[in-house]
Structure formats: C-alpha cells, structure tokens
C-alpha cells in the first residue's frame, strides 16, 4: 500500500489490485494530485447527498431502463457512482491505437469471410468455427459494403490486471450499448461536482452524436443527398418497450435524426422510405438497434413484427446502408475472440497493441483437458451468451457448482472457452458505510465510417457488490465517469 | 430538415389532447367537490355523463356518490378515462416523442407521472382532494408554459396545438350538454341562490367564470352561459375560438410546410365556421341545444379522422 491517504480516502484499501485512482498517487502528475487532494477533502455525508441528488436527476430525466412485470413497468436507473476513474493522456494514446487496430482487423476479417474466405483457406481460423457458427450469415456473402466497414460502432471491453496492464476481455461488434451513459454521466458530473472538476483538462465526450452522424453519412449509398441535402439517416429501434429505449432516444437526439420503428419504414422498388406527414421520404442510412434476426421477416425470422419487409433486398442492391452491417456477430463470438491476436497479425502484419486475456478453447482437446483439470482456478464462459449469464467463476464457486459445471462442459465442450481469473482493477466507490474498492472494466466506443474515431474514455462499469467481478447491469453493476486527462492535445 | 414522421405527428396530437383531458378532468372534479355539494349524487352523476362512462361506471358501482366517482376517476388505472390512465397515455406518447420534443417537456411529464404513481386513497380524503386536483392543474399549466418556451414552433408544434384545441372544444361541448340539461328544470325556481351558484359552477368547470363575468357583468341567464361557451371570440375554451385556432394552424401547415393532409379537415372547419357565424343562441335553443352540441361533437370526431388519414399515415 503505502498510499498516504487522508480524509475521505483514509480508510481505503485497494487490496492486491490496481487502483484506477490511488495507484497513480506517486506519478507526480499535478492533475492527478489535484483530483486526489480534492476528493480527500470531501465529506462522506456531502458526497452521499450529492450522489442521491444525481441519481434523482437521472430518474427524473428518464435516463433509465424499464423493467416489466405482469401488470406494471418500473423505470430503473443504471446506478451511478460519483467517484470517477482516471486515464492518463499517455495511457489513452495506447488504448486508442489498440482499439483502432482491433476494429480495423475485425472489419478486414468480416470482409474476408463474406467474400474470398482467405483466412479460412489458409487455416488461420478453423473454417467450421466460422461457417458452422449461428452468427455467420450466408446472406451476406458477396455483398459489398461502403468503405469496407461492417462494424461501424464497436465496443471493446477492457480489463486491467494487478500489474496495470490493459487486456481485451471481449469485443462487441453487433449493437454495443452504453455510450449514452458515458455522455450523460459526464453532464451529471459537471453539474454535481463543479468543484472537483474545476480547471482540470478532461477530454470532452459530447461530440459523439456528431461523429456518429458523420460516419453514417459517409456510408450512405452513392448519390444520396444529391440535390444539395444531406443523406437521410434514421435510427431504427424496436420501440418504447425496449429496455434500451433511452439509449435509442439519446442517439437519435444527438444525431438530430428521426427515431423510427419498423412500421415507419416501407420498401418500394428495392428502396427504403419512411412514412412522413408529407408522404414517403427516401432513407439512405439506417443505424439499427435491432438484432439481425428481426430486421427483415422476408429473410430472417418470419414472425418479426419489428423489422421491415424487403430491407435485405434494398441492402443487397446497395440502395440503403445498414449500421452495423448484417452478420457482424461472428466477429464478437467468444470462440472467434480467442483467434483475434492471430487475425490481427494475419491482416495487418502487426503485433496486437492490446493483448487478449489468455484463452483456452474447449472445442480443442488440449484446451478442454486443461480446463477440466483447472476448473477451480478458471473462469469458464459459454460462447453464445452475453450479459454475464451462464458462466462459472472457479475460485468463487462451491465444490457442488464445479462438479455440476464439469458435467455441462463434458457434454458440450465446443460451447465453452476458459480464461484465468484476472484480478480486475478497482476504483474507490461510495457505499452505505464509506468509500471502498470495487472492481471495474472499461468499454471504449469506436465509430467507423471511412476511418475510425474512438470516444475518449468510454463506459466504466463497476461491480457494486463487494468482491464481485461481474459488472453487467443485469447483475448488479453500475457505472462511473471515465476521465481522460491531458486536454484536447494530450 | 424533412417532414415529421407520421407517427410522431400523431403522438404530438395525442400528447396535446391527453394532457388537456387531464387538466379538464382535474378541474371538473375539483369544482364538483367544492361547489356542487347540494344535489350531490346528481352532480357526481354528471361527471360520469360528461365522460360518457355510465356503462363502465355502473358495472363497478351502484351509486354516484362522491367516493365512488372520485375513486373511479382518480385511482382506478383500469378505467381508461381515469386520470392515471390518461396520464399514462400522455406519458407513453411523450416517451415515444423524446427525440422530437424538448428534454424539459419530457422530464416534466415524467415527473408528473412519478408523482401520480404515489397517490393513494388517503390523499383523497378532505381536504386533500381539491389540493391534489389543483396540483395536477398546475402541472398541466406548467407543461403548457414549457411547450411554449422550449418546443420549436415548427410542424411538431402545430400538431400538438391542434390536438389541444380539439380536446378543449370537445370538452366544452360535453360539459355544456350535460350540465345545461341537468340545471334547466330548476329554472322554475327562478332567482334562488342555489341556481345561480350551480350555473357559476358550470362556468368554473369550463374555467370561464371570471371571463364570463367580465363580459356579462350582472346578467346571468342559461342562454347567456351557453352562448358564451359557444360563441365567445376571446375565451380560450369557446367553440368558436377553438375552431378559429384549428383553422389557422391547418392553414399554416399548408402554406409554411406545403402539407396538404389537412384539406378535408379544413372543409369541415369552413362548414362549422359558416354555421357558427350564422346562427344565434336563441335559435339553437329553439331547435334543440342537445342536437346542436351533438352535431359539433360529430364534427370534431370527424376532424380527428380526417387528420388521421391526411397526416398520420393511416
């Protein structure tokens, strides 16, 4: 330890983990010293009061997700912890380059597997792992997408080990969510803690909507907006009953584009139109927050009422752009993840800037036997699940749970990967009884049209239960503001 | 900027209508509670009649006493004309409109609904009921102020205002129809204090008591009250004024935004203006006030259908 903490942080113990605030204490960075000093002077009661006010404001503003029961709907906020995490300008440069590299590789991989399949022919990635995967969409074969970009919005989940090294835990290339919380958390911090933030050079996050809109305009079909206007971009949402509806509202609002539902769109002559008060108007780019399965009942689930009949016909003809492209789920599959360092080397001829967490692939005999022998030490994850469901955390599981999981794993090994348990970094977090260490991850968001831009910082998710490493909102997680220090130019 | 999504236009129309309905319901209940203690059951029955809820109400209750009617309208979320159900509908419209309306507009509706979810039977006991109704009316009026100050006066604003004006006009016809015919038989007992207080209550329920006084000073006859609510060219809830406003708004949509979806509605409005400009209250009463109000109600329902076809994509 040896942290000369005082005031609010006096009793704080980061344990054996890297702390995103206090581990920077001896770096002599004047901005970090200022933050720690100001935090130390805050009274616990004052911090608790401001925290409660901040959460009340989130609730009133409807920055919430909705939980439905049989008869009622309840709006819940994503719990917001007011103590921020810090990222230095130098660290951010590396993270940013690493995310850009990863997104580039993901897009090259997707273009390849839906065209020539060189990486499969060269046996860098097993062909059956891709072609036999439920997330692979044969419907995409041979379709050319604008700028070669498939994963226009990508969220790369990072964790930080006890040595302070960032590694990639997971890629999210379908419809990663959470960016609205990044921007709203910042606004809330600026309102609630002007004294804590005064004169610090924290990189702004409020131009996300402008960047996203620019990328959506870049991928619009050729000739869109000819005649002077901008291409018509829309955000496609499943509607107000979707639990992430607030984020859809946020994105439409920040881009200044209509939020449409499937029933607002119609395909005619293989072109997409929206129903307006003045009749049908052409749509050029759709940022869709609807899974592949639901977007076109003509091609995918025929029972989908949320999608648009004929959308894939228009897409194939190049008359509309979809973001993200159909079929990107194959790139963030947990089994494909294990090959990502090799994928980066294959397409870019570079070493990965951000390492993967070491991963055993249970479909491979060595991976399975190692996993079975070390279940008590490993985290074992089903490859098809998300949201933190169905995983085994060996070091925290009982003997019975491990025995039960062993049977599941033997029964269907190719459904699992395993990773060593990483001691996730921590951040001081407000609890009922004081400030204590809680584990966090970081999800930076990358937006790609013709080039890739990364939102400075990203979503810091925090496991609010003591000792927990599951940060998902469905499992008792919250969020924090993430400050990239150093101002606009580092 | 392109035209508004047809679904958003419809949501705006209904947001305007439902919040106007909430304000009216709160006012009618508050006035009934405060000024209509005599003939209590008959007065509370008229609240049910104004909302055309006789069938639904009597399936659940046997008598139109105050607790039953108040409970039916202020607590029963299963009653689609109740305040919680109407507020819920407004909230749902506002939620769908979040990318279109101002953040303050949404936040205020959201907070209003949160408040209402905490209301329970104990809040309705005397003297809580008028206070509660007053709070809802205040919130609706705050909402209107936020709309004026923060919603761009573009296409969206017109649908909201048209919805509000149609609801106002419709509410005025319902109120006048039920109350006028409730109070008329008492005209025999001319000059009793009770009568004028009931007619005053009618004006208060339309939020027109003071406005009427300023125009008519000491004169108060049933015909004057009915004429005022139908023909006043300055009272915000009169039929004539609402018709004039709706006409103006649809003409703006046509001339400023080249939207022709309101043409059928404009023809109906022309007809209504012609009739209203040509007829006197005495003539209407001779021919049957109820029949005239019924015709107006059908016209307003027809307007809503025309807008649905012309603008809302159905």
Which ipTM did the prediction report? Answer: 0.91
Residues from chain A that touch B4, judged by Cβ atoms under 8 A, are 276-277
Contact criterion met (CB < 8 Å) for A275 and B5: yes
Name beta bridge partners: A286.
A234, A322
A73 part of contact set with chain B, CB < 8 Å: no
A74 part of contact set with chain B, CB < 8 Å: no
For residue A235, give the chain B residue with the closest CA.
B99
What does the alpha-carbon distance between residue A304 and residue A15 come to, in Å, rounded to a whole number? 50
A228 part of contact set with chain B, CB < 8 Å: no
Contact criterion met (CB < 8 Å) for B114 and A245: no
**How far is B246 from chain A, CA to nearest CA, in Å?**
17
Give the mean model confidence (pLDDT) for residues B105-122. Answer: 94
Give the mean model confidence (pLDDT) for residues B75-91. Answer: 95
Ranges A38-52, A63-77, A237-251: which has the least confidence: A63-77
Boundaries of CATH 3.30.1490.270 in chain A?
Answer: 360-420
**How far is B170 from chain A, CA to nearest CA, in Å?**
24
Asked if residue B187 has pLDDT above 80, the reply is no
Nearest one of A103, A101, A114 to A327, comparing CA atoms: A114
Identify the pLDDT of residue A73: 74
In this structure, chain A runs to a length of 490
**How far is B168 from chain A, CA to nearest CA, in Å?**
24
A354 part of contact set with chain B, CB < 8 Å: no
Contact criterion met (CB < 8 Å) for B106 and A264: no
Tell me what the pLDDT averaged over chain A comes to.
92
Asked if residue B186 has pLDDT above 70, the reply is no
CATH says A360-420 is which class? alpha beta
Select from A56, A229, A257, A277 the residue whose CB has the most chain B CBs within 10 Å, as the one to mutate to test that interface. Answer: A277
pTM for the full predicted model: 0.92
A157 part of contact set with chain B, CB < 8 Å: no
Identify the pLDDT of residue B185: 64
Could you tell me how many CB contacts below 8 A there are between chain A and chain B?
A: 69
DSSP three-state, residue A195: helix
Contact criterion met (CB < 8 Å) for A245 and B95: yes
| Residue of A60, A245, A277 with shortest CB distance to B3 | A277
**How far is B115 from chain A, CA to nearest CA, in Å?**
11
For residue B257, give the chain A residue with the closest CA.
A278
Q: What is the pLDDT of residues A114-158, one digit of tens each?
A: 999 999 999 999 998 899 888 999 999 999 999 999 999 999 999
| Residue of B8, B103, B259 with shortest CB distance to A278 | B259
pLDDT higher for A64 or B289? B289
* Reduced 3-state DSSP string for chain B: CCCCEHHHHHHHHHHHHHHHHHHHHHHHHHHHHHHCCCCHHHHHHHHHHHCCCHHHHHHHCCCCCHHHHHHHHHCCCCCCCCHHHHHHHHHHHHHHCCCCCCHHHHHHHHHHHHHHHCCCHHHHCCCHHHHHHHHHHHHHHHHHHHHHHHCCCCHHHHHHHHHHHHHHHHHHHHHHHHHHHHHHHHHHCCCCHHHHHHHHHHHHHCCCHHHHHHHHCCCCCHHHHHHHHHHCCCCCCCHHHHHHHHHHHHHHHHHHHCCCCCHHHHHHHHHHHHHHHHCCHHHHHHHCHHHHHHHHHHHHHHHHHHHHHHCCCC
Q: What is the pLDDT of residues A421-448, one digit of tens each?
A: 889 999 999 999 899 999 999 999 999 9
**How far is B187 from chain A, CA to nearest CA, in Å?**
49
**Residues B96/B7, Cβ–Cβ less than 8 Å:** yes
Give the mean model confidence (pLDDT) for residues A204-225. Answer: 92
Q: What is the pLDDT of residues B233-249, one digit of tens each?
A: 999 999 999 999 999 99
Percent of chain A scoring above 90 in pLDDT: 78
Select from B1, B8, B98 the residue whose CB has the most chain A CBs within 10 Å, as the one to mutate to test that interface. Answer: B98
User: Cβ contacts of residue A445 below 8 Å, gap of 6+?
Assistant: A153, A154, A155, A176, A178, A179, A182, A208, A454, A455, A458, A459
Contact criterion met (CB < 8 Å) for A60 and B110: yes
**How far is A275 from chain B, CA to nearest CA, in Å?**
6
Select from B1, B4, B95, B308 the residue whose CB has the most chain A CBs within 10 Å, as the one to mutate to test that interface. Answer: B95
Give the mean model confidence (pLDDT) for residues B111-124. Answer: 92
Per-position b or e across B197-213, b if 16+ CB within 10 A of its CB: ebbbbbbbbbbbbebbe
Contact criterion met (CB < 8 Å) for B258 and A278: yes
Contact criterion met (CB < 8 Å) for A249 and B98: yes
Q: What is the pLDDT of residues B128-184, one digit of tens each?
A: 999 999 999 999 999 999 999 999 999 999 999 999 999 999 999 999 999 988 888
Asked if residue B188 has pLDDT above 60, the reply is no
**How far is A273 from chain B, CA to nearest CA, in Å?**
11
Q: At what angle do helices B209-216 and B222-231 cross, to 10 degrees?
A: 110
Contact criterion met (CB < 8 Å) for A275 and B7: yes
Residues from chain B that touch A264, judged by Cβ atoms under 8 A, are 5-7
Q: Where are the beta strands (DSSP E) in A97-244?
A: 153-160, 166-172, 233-236
For residue A239, give the chain B residue with the closest CA.
B96
Identify the pLDDT of residue A86: 96
Residues from chain B that touch A235, judged by Cβ atoms under 8 A, are 99
Between the CA of residue B129 and those of A97, B19, B64, what are the distances in Å?
63, 19, 17
Nearest one of B230, B253, B80, B227 to B169, comparing CA atoms: B230
Q: Where are the beta strands (DSSP E) in A298-354?
A: 321-323
Identify the pLDDT of residue B82: 97
Ranges A228-237, A403-412, A479-488, B209-218: which has the least confidence: A479-488
Contact criterion met (CB < 8 Å) for B99 and A249: yes
Residues from chain B that touch A258, judged by Cβ atoms under 8 A, are 5, 8, 99
Identify the pLDDT of residue A2: 41
Contact criterion met (CB < 8 Å) for B4 and A276: yes
B218 phi/psi in degrees, rounded to 5: -80, -15
- For residue B220, the tally of other CB atoms under 10 A from its CB is 15
**How far is B259 from chain A, CA to nearest CA, in Å?**
6
CA A400 to chain CA mean position, Å: 33
Percent of chain B scoring above 70 in pLDDT: 95
Identify the pLDDT of residue A490: 42
Chain A, residues 404-443, CB within 8 A of chain B, namely none
| Residue of B7, B106, B155 with shortest CB distance to A62 | B106
Nearest one of A108, A57, A104 to A82, comparing CA atoms: A57
Asked if residue A390 has pLDDT above 90, the reply is no
Q: How many CA atoms lie within 13 A of A296 on its CB side?
A: 17
Identify the pLDDT of residue A424: 94
Contact criterion met (CB < 8 Å) for B5 and A61: no
Asked if residue A343 has pLDDT above 50, the reply is yes
């Amino acid at each position: 330890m040896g942290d000369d903490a005082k005031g609010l942080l006096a009793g704080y113990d980061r344990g054996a983990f890297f702390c995103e605030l206090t581990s920077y204490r001896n770096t002599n960075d004047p901005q970090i010293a200022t933050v720690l000093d100001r935090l130390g002077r805050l009274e616990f009661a004052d911090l608790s009061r401001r925290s409660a006010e901040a959460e009340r404001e989130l609730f009133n503003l409807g920055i919430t997700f909705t939980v439905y029961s049989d008869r009622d709907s309840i709006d819940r906020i994503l719990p917001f912890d007011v103590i921020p995490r810090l990222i230095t300008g130098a660290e951010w440069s590396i993270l940013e380059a690493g995310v850009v590299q990863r997104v580039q590789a993901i897009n090259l991989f997707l273009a390849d597997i839906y065209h020539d399949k060189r990486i499969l022919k060269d046996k860098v990635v097993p062909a059956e792992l891709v072609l036999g995967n439920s997330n692979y969409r044969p419907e995409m074969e041979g379709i050319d997408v604008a700028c070669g970009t498939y994963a226009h919005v990508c969220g790369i989940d990072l964790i930080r080990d006890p040595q302070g090294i960032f590694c990639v835990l997971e890629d999210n290339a379908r419809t990663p969510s959470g960016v609205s919380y990044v921007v709203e958390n910042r606004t809330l911090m600026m309102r609630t803690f002007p004294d804590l933030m005064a004169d610090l050079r924290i990189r702004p996050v409020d131009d996300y909507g402008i960047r996203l809109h620019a990328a959506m305009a870049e991928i619009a079909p050729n000739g869109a907006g000819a005649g002077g206007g901008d291409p018509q971009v829309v955000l496609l949402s499943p509607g107000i009953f979707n639990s992430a509806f607030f984020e859809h509202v946020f994105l439409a609002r920040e881009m200044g584009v209509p939020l449409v539902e499937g029933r607002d769109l119609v395909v005619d002559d293989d072109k997409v139109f929206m129903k307006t008060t003045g009749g049908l108007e052409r749509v050029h780019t759709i940022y869709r927050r609807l899974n592949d399965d639901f977007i076109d009942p003509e091609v995918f689930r025929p029972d989908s009422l949320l999608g648009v009949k004929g959308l894939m016909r228009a897409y194939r003809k190049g008359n509309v752009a979809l973001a993200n492209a159909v079929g990107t789920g194959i790139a963030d599959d947990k089994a494909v993840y294990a090959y990502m360092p090799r994928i980066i080397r294959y397409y870019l001829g570079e070493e990965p800037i951000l390492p993967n967490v070491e991963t055993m692939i249970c479909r491979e005999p060595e991976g399975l036997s190692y996993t079975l022998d070390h279940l008590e030490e490993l985290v074992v994850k089903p490859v098809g699940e998300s949201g933190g469901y169905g995983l085994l955390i060996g070091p925290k599981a009982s003997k019975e749970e491990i025995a039960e999981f062993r049977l599941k794993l033997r029964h269907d090994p190719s459904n699992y990967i395993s990773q060593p348990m990483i001691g996730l970094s921590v951040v001081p977090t407000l609890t009922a009884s004081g400030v204590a260490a809680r584990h966090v991850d970081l999800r930076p968001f990358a937006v790609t049209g013709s080039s890739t831009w990364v939102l400075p910082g990203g979503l810091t998710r925090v496991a609010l239960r003591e000792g927990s490493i599951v940060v998902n909102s469905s499992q008792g997680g919250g969020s924090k503001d993430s400050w990239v220090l150093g101002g606009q130019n580092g | 900027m392109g035209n508004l999504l047809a679904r958003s236009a419809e949501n705006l129309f209904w947001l305007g209508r439902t919040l106007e309905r909430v304000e009216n319901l709160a006012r009618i209940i508050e006035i009934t509670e405060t000024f209509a203690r005599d003939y209590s059951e008959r007065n509370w029955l008229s609240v049910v009649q104004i909302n055309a809820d006789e069938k639904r109400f009597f399936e659940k209750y046997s008598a139109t006493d105050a607790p039953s009617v108040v409970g039916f309208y202020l607590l029963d979320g299963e009653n689609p004309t109740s305040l919680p159900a109407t507020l819920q509908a407004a909230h749902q419209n506002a939620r769908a409109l979040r990318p279109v309306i101002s953040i303050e507009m949404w936040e205020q509706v959201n907070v209003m609904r949160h408040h209402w979810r905490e209301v329970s039977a104990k809040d309705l006991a005397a003297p809580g009921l008028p206070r509660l109704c007053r709070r809802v009316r205040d919130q609706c009026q705050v909402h209107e102020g936020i709309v004026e100050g923060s919603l761009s006066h573009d296409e969206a604003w017109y649908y909201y205002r048209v919805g509000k004006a149609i609801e106002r006009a419709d509410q005025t016809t319902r109120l006048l129809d039920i109350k006028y015919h409730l109070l008329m038989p008492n005209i025999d007992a001319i000059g009793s204090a009770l009568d004028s207080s009931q007619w005053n209550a009618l004006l208060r329920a339309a939020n027109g008591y003071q406005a009427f006084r300023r125009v008519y000073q000491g004169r108060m006859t049933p015909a004057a009250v009915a004429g005022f609510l139908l023909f006043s060219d300055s009272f915000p809830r009169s039929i004539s004024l609402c018709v004039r406003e709706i006409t103006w708004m649809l003409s703006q949509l046509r001339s400023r935004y080249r939207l022709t979806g309101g043409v059928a509605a404009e023809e109906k409005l022309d007809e209504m203006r012609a009739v209203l400009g040509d007829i006197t209250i005495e003539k209407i009463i001779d021919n049957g006030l109820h029949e005239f109000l019924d015709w107006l109600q059908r016209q307003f329902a027809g307007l809503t259908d025309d807008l649905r076809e012309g603008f809302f994509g159905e």
